[in-house]
Amino acid sequence: MMNNRIHRVGLGAGLAIAFTALSVLLTLSLTLFSDRAASNQVRESIGANLSELAQQTASRLDRSMYERFREVRLLTERLGGGLPPERGRQEIEALQKSYPHYAWIGVTDTAGVVRTATRGMLEGVDVSARPWFRNALAGRPMSDVHDAVLLAPLLGPSGGEPLRFVDIAFPLKDTSGQTTGVLGVHLSWKWANDIRDTIFASVTRHRTVELLIVSNTGSVLLGPTGVQGTTLQLPSLEAAGRGVSGHSKETWPDGKTYLVGYSHDAGFDGYPGLGWRLLVRQTLQEAYEPVNQLHRRLLAGGLAGALLFSLLGWLAARLITRPLQNLTDVARGIEAGYAVKAPAEAAYREVAALGQAFNSLVKSLQENEAELRHSNAALERRVSERTAELREALDDVRANEERVQTVIDTAQEAFIGMDFDGCITDWNNEAEKLFGWKRFEVLGQSLADTLLPERFHTTFVQALAHFHTTGKAPFTGQRMRRTVVNRQGREMVVEMKIGLIHTTEVQLFSAFVRPVNDAR
């Protein structure tokens, strides 16, 4: 049914369909090519932009932290020079007013008791157990982000979020180099929020891009709701921890796939850095939306082009098939018995050549028709003669087969035939007497399963496999003795000589078998 429908489609329609199919194929090819070329470049550019954002943010954090680090270090040098307590208080109050994110600044003695502090907070309190105090005395001026402990009740709530600080602390030394105390500064972690908002304000206006600041232990110090405060283990974090910047696609614990740009803080000048790793993430679907838009534009333009080429193809097909339609009318006239000739000239060379060939073909057919009638009569005679010869030859073959079968059936020894798969093909009367199996019971059965003891099955299979592999059968053409079993399972020793017939028409092994007692 489908073939009939295909045959009924005209050449013009076929050409138009072909033009349409080629146009659509070209459109798909261009779309695929753009995905491998332009789209890959766009994806790479999007990932590079996220990586650049992470690097810019890391640089901004480093430089800002360096400014705080430098200010505190300079104040430490001034206070270590032996300023009067009141002058020291003025210095720390002035520093706090100069930068609103200094939440608390205090000076302790060597025992860790706060002697002077901004707004008098924690004065007289022992802070020797606080990490920033111990780190300062150990030569580690920076302490990573932590929740406020002693200052939380004094500073009050902070916009619904817990107070968190980054600590900067230096030991105070007198002119002789002896430690006289510690200058400690708590920098509000809101400072990081301000930097994020400054950098990402223009970026997040039209798309959702999220910044994460992660400590060197994998804890999220700053990030989206639901992620902040958790611990992450991601390939991007591992790469950033090795000091590498770049971007990658990752599936996060929330099950979503993100495009992630990553970088790390490297410190700046005297500021050593805190080992922060910065991730800038965007859902893969949103990140690659520009690529999807590019695909849609290409597809729409390609479909419009395909429609245009289809219309042009239809018109071209009509022009091409018109001369062929004229030839069709000529052919129908000849079929009806009219003396019609195809035009020798046409709109294009191929149709003219086809018309000439058509006329030549008709003339040749007419000339050959008479000759064909004579040839048919001669051929019929030859077929009749050949049929008689073949019938006679077939009778001879059948007679020979009957004689061979009679010889086998009347032989005084058991005769067994086996094909190359090891199955029994012949079994005479003596074989029935010797082994107890009737011919119809064993034909098509495995010779090994029927006649060989189980211990010889492997040897039989190996010999047959060797023949199939090499084409050689060293066991043929010589008399040999083998142990076999009859229908009752009783073993007996027989003597046999195996023959091989390997022609296009016949492939089998044959053997005449007799008990060894008879042979003696």
List, for residues 433-461, the tens digit of each pLDDT value: 999 999 999 999 999 899 999 999 998 88
Mean pLDDT of 259-265: 94
- CATH number of the domain where residue 445 is located: 3.30.450.20
> Token pair of 315, please?
């018109």
Range of the domain at 36: 11-309
The one-letter code for the residue type at 419 is: D
* Residue pLDDT, tens place only, 194-220: 888 888 887 767 788 999 999 999 999
Asked whether residue 167 falls in the same domain as residue 52, the answer is: yes
Q: Which residues of 216-246 are buried (b: 16+ CB within 10 A; e: fewer)?
A: eeeebbbbeeebeeeebebebbebbeeeebb
Tokens representing residue 447 in the block = 């010779």
Backbone angles phi, psi at 6, to 5 degrees: -65, -40
Last residue of a domain, one of 309, 342, 364: 309
Whether the pLDDT of residue 226 is over 60: the answer is yes
Tokens 């740009």 -> residue? 261
300 within a domain of the structure (yes/no): yes
Say if residue 127 is exposed, middle or buried (CB neighbours under 10 Å; 0-12, 13-18, 19+). buried
* For residue 267, pLDDT beyond 60: yes
pLDDT tens by residue, 299-315: 777 777 777 777 777 77
> What total of structural domains would you count in the chain?
2
Better-scored residue on pLDDT, 358 or 99 = 99
How far, in whole angstroms, is CA 292 from its chain's centroid? 21
Q: Which of 291, 309, 327 is the last residue of a domain?
A: 309
pLDDT in tens, 121-173: 999 999 999 999 999 999 999 999 998 888 888 887 666 678 899 999 999 99
Q: What CA–CA distance (Å, rounded) separates 207 from 507?
A: 79
- What torsion do the CA atoms of 397, 399, 403, 404 make, to the nearest 10 degrees? 20
Residue 288 and residue 436 in one domain: no
Examine residue 477 and state whether it is found in any structural domain, yes or no: yes
Give me 501's structure tokens: 């017939």
Give 161-196 pLDDT, tens digit per residue.
788 999 999 999 988 889 999 999 999 999 888 888
Going by pLDDT thresholds of 50, 70 and 90, the confidence category of residue 5 is: very low
Q: Is residue 42 very low, low, confident or very high in pLDDT (cuts 50, 70, 90)?
A: confident
- How confident is residue 16, by pLDDT bands cut at 50, 70 and 90? low
Q: Is residue 436 part of a domain?
A: yes
Question: Could you give the CA distance from residue 179 to residue 141 in angstroms, rounded to a whole number?
Answer: 15
Tell me, what's the pLDDT at 472?
Answer: 84
Q: Which residues contact 338 (CB under 8 A, 6 or more apart)?
A: none
In a domain, 337, yes or no: no
In a domain, 400, yes or no: no
SS3 213: strand
Residues 6+ apart with CB under 8 A from 160: none
Last residue of one domain, picked from the residues 278, 309, 340: 309
Residue 45 one-letter amino acid: S
Which residue bears the tokens 């480093």? 62
CA distance 309 to 327: 28
